[in-house]
Amino acid sequence: TEAEYVNRPVSPYAATKRSGELISYTYHRLYDMPITNLRFFTVYGPRGRPDMAPYKFISRITRGEEIEQYGDGTTSRDYTYIDDIVDGVVRAIDRPYKYQIFNLGKGSGTKLNEFIGLVEKHVGKKARIKMMPPQPGDVPFTNADVSKARRLLGYSSNFPFDEGIMRTVAWFKEAFGENGERLNMAG
């Protein structure tokens, strides 16, 4: 939950997220600024970040390239489709509070093996997987407790992971070709 004690982060990424919340709280206290912090959980979708697993896996599997799987595939992430995040951001803007932190996510995790299977299904190709050891600082699962956002913002995730991956694959193929052949020309 948003009230969970998170002052001992396990990665630099987590430390920067918490630092931002602490800085914003300081501005709220010093200058009476209304501030809402939004915690996004593994956002993906069309035009997604190329360094994130959803984009990398879709791109590499589409082009028949090898993907790297860290760990045994049982790690779980709360993958959240971009349209759900945008909805949560608009709701937070429309409902200003003095100071709040909200989790925005799907509210349930998907195991890495399931994720790869969905990408294979929608790309129509089998993944070539290189097994890698777990990454240092990686947590075994993430799962957004969105009950506070539901209660105070009226937020709920509307896109099942399967549908989000299907839409993301469709966008990728439209943007870069059925086999990703236009990818190198785009950069």
* Residues 34-71: tens digit of each pLDDT: 999 999 999 999 999 999 999 999 999 999 999 999 99
85: its two tokens = 């995040």
Rounded-to-integer distance, Cα 151 and Cα 172, Å: 35
What's the one-letter identity of residue 74? T
pLDDT digits (tens, 9 = 90+) for 74-130: 999 999 999 999 999 999 998 889 999 999 999 999 999 999 999 999 999 999 999
Count of CB atoms within 10 A of residue 121's CB?
Answer: 13
Return the active site residues. 13
Instruction: Name 36's bridge partners.
Output: 100
Rounded-to-integer distance, Cα 154 and Cα 11, Å: 31
With a CB cutoff of 8 Å and minimum separation 6, the contacts of 177 are 183
Strands 76-77 and 35-40: unpaired
Rounded-to-integer distance, Cα 36 and Cα 27, Å: 12
Q: Which pLDDT score, from 0 to 100, does residue 186 have?
A: 54
Question: To 10 degrees, what angle do helices 112-123 and 161-176 make?
Answer: 50
For the whole model, what pTM was predicted? 0.89
pLDDT digits (tens, 9 = 90+) for 15-41: 888 899 999 999 999 999 999 999 999
Residue in this structure with the two tokens 């200058």, named with its chain if needed = 31
Query: Phi-psi bin for 165: left (phi > 0), alpha (psi -120 to 50), beta?
Result: alpha
